[in-house]
Amino acid sequence: MERTFIMIKPDGVQRNLVGEIIRRFESKGFTLVGLKMLSVSRELAQKHYDVHRERPFFKGLVEFIISSPVVAMVWEGDGVIASARKIIGATNPLNSEPGTIRGDYGITVGRNLIHGSDALETAQTEISLWFTPEELLSWELVTKPWLVE
């Protein structure tokens, strides 16, 4: 079953949007299979954003991610990777559609509230970077027959 890594960034936590953000994924019908709050180490933040290492915003991004706690999650469901990216919205919140998380709550790219894996391979890499296998649960929603035919 497809899984994706989602992180509520420090601004999302500080702005009391944890419940609202989780609600959107729950309401959609995806299954939460991993959840933890943590203060991110510099090493983990750098590894997570390694593809952006050469970008001018990299240093500021890492400082931001380690500045205050985040909420890390793994969500499961068919098509969850692409669907979560739609729920999250475009990288720059000024371009994100209203109705998306970034479109509803953000105004600047450096404070865009949430991360979501962008493809199957990155999802797998990020899940194993942030969670141990024991921290991930396999379980089935009792509502599944009402969500999936």
Distances (CA, A) of 14 to 10, 33, 112, 130: 6, 24, 12, 21
Minimum CB separation of residue 115 from ligand IDP in Å reads 5
When CB distances are held under 5 to 8 angstroms depending on the partner's kind, the choice from ligand IDP, Mg ion, none that residue 112 binds is: ligand IDP
- At its nearest, how many Å lie between ligand IDP and the CB of residue 31? 22
Q: x-or-dash pattern for Mg ion, window 66-105, by CB under 5 A? A: ----------------------------------------
CA distance linking residue 133 with residue 41, whole number of Å: 20
DSSP 123: H
Which option in ligand IDP, Mg ion, none does residue 113 bind, with CB closer than 5 to 8 A by kind? none
- Which of these is catalytic: 9, 48, 102, 115? 115
Judged by CB under 5 A, how many residues of this single chain contact Mg ion? 1
Among 104, 121, 126, 124, which Cα is nearest to 113's?
104
Beta carbon of residue 1, minimum distance to ligand IDP (angstroms, whole number): 23
SS3 101: helix
115 in active site = yes
- Nearest Cα to Cα of residue 46 among 139, 129, 144, 136: 129
Query: Which residues contact Mg ion (rule: CB under 5 A)?
Result: 118
Q: Return the active site residues.
A: 115
